[in-house]
Amino acid sequence: MNTTLIEDYVSLICPTCQRPVRVVRIYAPSQPGLKLVGIKHDDHIVVIKFDKYGVARDINAYKLIDPERVKAEHFAICKRCKRSVPLLFGRGLREYAIDHNDHFVIIFLMGKTFVLQVIDKIPPIRIAPRLNIVARIRKEIGLKNLAMILYYAITEPNRVVNIPATVEKDLKFLLREIFGRIPLRLRIGPLVELNWVEEADFFQRKILQVLGFSDKEALTVLKESVEMIINMTESFKRLLRKKGVNFVCDQLSYLKEKDPKLFALFQKLLGISCI
């Protein structure tokens, strides 16, 4: 990946309040181990999981409880600082967090049992927000056009697509990062709106997911999402040759209810029609 896109900070969206979260990039000591860090975010904390390459693999948020303001009958002991941790059984809470100054304790309640997780606390960084590469492209050509370009890159490689010159550099870089090449024939000229198809909804959702990410996280998520679609399609094609259409349709049936638009995408890629 071009090192100019590997920022020393990570920008993500808080799953609780939808506000941006920016922290210094952290590197886990080993793979597949992940390093967890947390930041205070008003009445909740945000927990980010980093891999050894400094890529943020997951983000979660937990309600922050002030132990001075709650009454508890049961307590545990923090493994790091030996302070007491209130266990709030019967309060409708399955998970919450306690602030212990330089670390957080996350409490998971399961019936009358519990699990404690201690993670490092780090401060957020305050920098002027900027658009990542995906957001810049979307601003120039629109969400649906960008989703259709990713869709055509898989379903109709070598298709001619008109794009404005202002987006050429970013779009070519994005396609190379995701596919390892530029699978479409990009022609510079006035933007021609691409006819929307529902099968492209998967890519639209992924684009929306990464708009608040840093360049590195955004490109990683899109690349892994495309690889997942391609790998699953190849697996289904092998099953199609060995087991036939009915068997593959049966295997895809769970998607028909859970995610009908993704189901339609696989039908398109496989060239089949499931009743």
Task: Check residue 126 and give its pLDDT.
Answer: 75
| pLDDT per residue as tens digits for the range 187-243 | 999 888 899 999 999 999 999 888 878 888 899 999 999 999 999 999 999 999 999
Q: Model's pTM, two decimal places?
A: 0.65
Regions of the chain with pLDDT less than 50: 1-6
Task: Check residue 127 and give its pLDDT.
Answer: 66
Spell out the domain ranges in the chain. Answer: 3-121, 133-270
Pair of tokens at residue 170: 């970013």
What is the crossing angle of helices 215-243 and 133-141, to 10°? 80
**Across the chain, what does the average pLDDT equal?**
91
Task: Check residue 144 and give its pLDDT.
Answer: 96
Task: Check residue 19 and give its pLDDT.
Answer: 83
